[in-house]
Amino acid sequence: MAEEIIRIENLVKNYKVGLEIVRALRGVSLTIMRNEYVALMGPSGSGKSTLMNILGCLDTPTGGSYYLNNKDVSKLRDNELAEIRNKEIGFVFQTFNLLPRSTALDNVALPLIYGGQTKAARRERALKVLDQVGLSDRTHHRPNELSGGQRQRVAMARALVNHPSIILADEPTGNLDTKTSIEIMGLLQDIHQAGNTIILVTHEEDIAKHAHRIIRLRDGQVESDESNPEVVTLEQNRIPG
């Protein structure tokens, strides 16, 4: 039986902009099961970025509940949210968010520093995930010595390094050409098949088609939530479990 990993109930998020109250989320409820591959879509202003920030424990809701691994994280303090972010969620951003003066190895190992692991253990784990994403020959290269696709692979290795429950990918192909985008989507497919839950935030229909379920938001509410009957799959070298 499938195990629930995320449950949000009647999620509300309001922002104050000047004298106005912007209602970014208006009672969103949904459940995501472990090892699902979900695409989150919606036009600008739909609330998808706000929902992504709450799912990623980067923001807290105004009202409603958010359960992650059966723990209500919607009312936690900032330091508690930071700990959950580091342990439970791997982030992949459109802009890579790599430290420019650090090597690929050091960028990937960075989240492990907060877990109190030894330098040797951090290095061993970082080397393993860099090998998983096909970058074992680029460990000592800095971001400016890597292509856009290689930088995104470093970012994906960094997202995987802490054995997270969830990979949250925000427009992961937004800065990449078509060929490189296909490679990155193939890698996400491999990561999903290795057992990770993936939440993909995108505005591109062809990218969303890689997900098994597509949730569309509009005006701060779920407009539709449907299984994808035509999942795009790519033949890649499989990531070992």
Residue 3 confidence (pLDDT) above 50: yes
Q: What is the mean pLDDT of residues 96-109?
A: 94
- Give percent of the chain above pLDDT 70: 97
Q: What is the mean pLDDT of residues 9-32?
A: 95
Residue 174 confidence (pLDDT) above 90: no
Residue 241 confidence (pLDDT) above 70: no
Q: Give all domains of the chain, ordered by start, each with its CATH number.
A: 35-61+83-227 (3.40.50.300)
- Please tell me which residue, 150 or 239, carries the higher pLDDT value: 150
**39 DSSP 8-state letter:** E
Alpha carbon separation from 68 to 47, 65, 74, 117, 207 (Å, rounded): 20, 10, 9, 24, 26
Residue 230 confidence (pLDDT) above 80: yes
Residue 236 confidence (pLDDT) above 60: no
Phi, psi of 50, deg, nearest 5? -65, -45
The gap between the terminal CA atoms of the chain, to the nearest Å, is: 21
Q: What is the mean pLDDT of residues 64-71?
A: 94
Phi, psi of 65, deg, nearest 5? -125, 150
